[in-house]
Copies of this chain bind each other. A is one copy, B any other.
Amino acid sequence: MTGNKLTLAGLAKLAGVSTSTASRALHNNPLIKAETRQRIQDLAKTHNFSLNAAASRLRSQKTNVIAVILNLDYETEQSIDDPFLLKVVGDINQAVNQQGYELLLSNSRMAGEDWYGYFVAGRRADGVIVVGQGKQQTQIERAFAAGTPLVAWGDPSSESDYPVVGSDNFRGGQLAATHLLEKGAGRILFLGDPDHAEIGERYRGCLGELEAAEACLELLPIDLTSESAYRAINLRLQSAGLNFDGVFACSDMVAFGAMKALKERYVSVPNDVRIVGFDNIAMAEVSYPSLTTIAQNTRMAAQSLVSKLLIQLEGDKACAEQLPIELICRQSS
C-alpha cells in the first residue's frame, strides 16, 4: 500500500528461503516441496506480492504477450467504424487470455516497418496476430521471413508463406449467389472492392454461381464503408434506374448503406430487391428488415488464430485454416 515495493528477494527473506526457491515456488515448480510451495504462495498473496514482469521477461526471454496489429488501409479507413473488425479483436482478446497471454494492441503506424525488431527482438511480444491482410501483404511476409511468429486473419486460400486463418469466402460468395437466385433475383449487384483478397474470393464465388445459372452480375467497386455504398446506390438509381433485383454486399455495414438508399427511394426490401450481407454483425439481427447475411464464426477464428500462433512459439509450423461459414436467412431476402 505504501511506496516501498516488495521484491522477490524480500519475499524470500520473509519466508526464510533463497530467491531461487521463492521463484520456483511461485511458478509451481515441482522441484520444490509441495508444502514449501504452498507456504510461499500464501505469503505472496498476503503481502500482495507480484513479480516484476520486466525483470522476468528480460531474464527468461519470454514475454507472454501477443501483439495484435490492426492492419488498416489508411486511405479508405475501413477503420474503427466497422463493428466487425472490433468484434474480431474482442474475440481474440478472450482467446488470448484463455491461454494465459496478454494482448498488446497495436496498429501499423505504431509498430513501424520492422515488426520483427519492434515486437520480437524488442521483447514486447512473443508473436503477432495481424488482423486484415489488406492489399499489401509484403510487409507481413517480410516480418514472417525475419522470423516473427505470426498468423493473419484474412483469406486462407491466398498464396502466402505465413499461415492465414479466415472464412471460406469463395463458398460464402456461392451461398449468397444461390440464395439470391432461389429468392428470385436474376440481376445482381456486387458491392465491394475485389482487389481486397477476401472480397475478391467472395466476388469470384458469387460470379461462378451466377454465370452457371446465366444470371447477370454487375460489379460496383466501392470502399468498405456504408457511406460509399449509400452513395453508390443512389448514383446508380439516378443514372440507370432500378434495373437490378438483388444485392450482394461485401460486408453488413455496406449492406446497410445500400438498404438505406433503397428504402429512401421507396424500393421495397425484399420485394423489389433482395439483399445479402457478410459478417453477421449484431445489427444484422436487430435491424428492420433484419439482414440476411453470411455469418463468420469470429470466436472460432480467434481461437484458431491464437492456437496456431502458440504452435509456432513451440517451434512448429502452422498451416492455413479455412473456417466454415453459414448463410443466415432473414427478412431482407
Interface string of A130-149 (1 = CB under 8 A from B): 00000000000000011100
Interface string of A268-304 (1 = CB under 8 A from B): 0000000000000111011110100000000000000
How many Å lie between the Cα of A68 and that of B50 in the bound state?
Answer: 19
Q: In this complex, what residue of B is CB-closest to A52?
A: B123
User: Do B118 and A50 touch (CB < 8 A)?
Assistant: yes
User: Do A105 and B93 touch (CB < 8 A)?
Assistant: yes
Q: List, in ascending order, chain B residues with CB within 8 A of A209's CB.
A: none
Q: List, in ascending order, chain B residues with CB within 8 A of A86's CB.
A: 80, 83, 86-87, 89-90
User: Do A226 and B282 touch (CB < 8 A)?
Assistant: yes
A83 to chain B, nearest CB (A): 4
Which of A53-61, A197-205, A308-316 interfaces with chain B? A53-61
- Of residues 235 to 279 in A, which have CB atoms within 8 Å of B's CB atoms? 253, 256-257, 259-260, 263-264
Q: Is A104 an interface residue (CB 8 A)?
A: yes
Q: List, in ascending order, chain B residues with CB within 8 A of A162's CB.
A: none
Q: List, in ascending order, chain B residues with CB within 8 A of A227's CB.
A: 286
User: Do A114 and B50 touch (CB < 8 A)?
Assistant: yes
How many Å lie between the Cα of A53 and that of B111 in the bound state?
Answer: 13
User: Do A109 and B124 touch (CB < 8 A)?
Assistant: no
Q: List, in ascending order, chain B residues with CB within 8 A of A287's CB.
A: 256, 260, 283, 287-288
User: Do A107 and B97 touch (CB < 8 A)?
Assistant: yes
How many Å lie between the Cα of A118 and that of B52 in the bound state?
Answer: 9
- State whether A122 and B260 are in contact (beta carbons under 8 Å apart), knowing that A97-B109, A107-B93 are contacts in the complex: no
Q: Is A216 an interface residue (CB 8 A)?
A: no
- State whether A5 and B121 are in contact (beta carbons under 8 Å apart), knowing that A86-B87, A104-B103, A226-B282 are contacts in the complex: yes
How many Å lie between the Cα of A109 and that of B90 in the bound state?
Answer: 14
User: Do B117 and A52 touch (CB < 8 A)?
Assistant: no
User: Do A102 and B110 touch (CB < 8 A)?
Assistant: yes
How many Å lie between the Cα of A90 and that of B109 in the bound state?
Answer: 14
User: Do A55 and B58 touch (CB < 8 A)?
Assistant: yes
Q: Is A322 an interface residue (CB 8 A)?
A: no
Q: List, in ascending order, chain B residues with CB within 8 A of A223's CB.
A: none
Q: In this complex, what residue of B is CB-closest to A82?
A: B282
A289 to chain B, nearest CB (A): 9
User: Do A286 and B256 touch (CB < 8 A)?
Assistant: yes
Q: Is A3 an interface residue (CB 8 A)?
A: yes
Q: In this complex, what residue of B is CB-closest to A49?
A: B117
Q: Is A213 an interface residue (CB 8 A)?
A: no
How many Å lie between the Cα of A264 and that of B68 in the bound state?
Answer: 41
How many Å lie between the Cα of A226 and that of B282 in the bound state?
Answer: 9
Interface centre among A58, A82, A288 (most CB of B within 10 A): A288
User: Do B107 and A104 touch (CB < 8 A)?
Assistant: no
Q: Is A51 an interface residue (CB 8 A)?
A: yes
How many Å lie between the Cα of A6 and that of B80 in the bound state?
Answer: 36
Q: List, in ascending order, chain B residues with CB within 8 A of A81's CB.
A: 87, 282
User: Do A117 and B53 touch (CB < 8 A)?
Assistant: no
Which 4 A-B pairs rank lowest in CB-CB distance, beginning with the nearest?
A80-B90, A86-B86, A54-B57, A50-B117
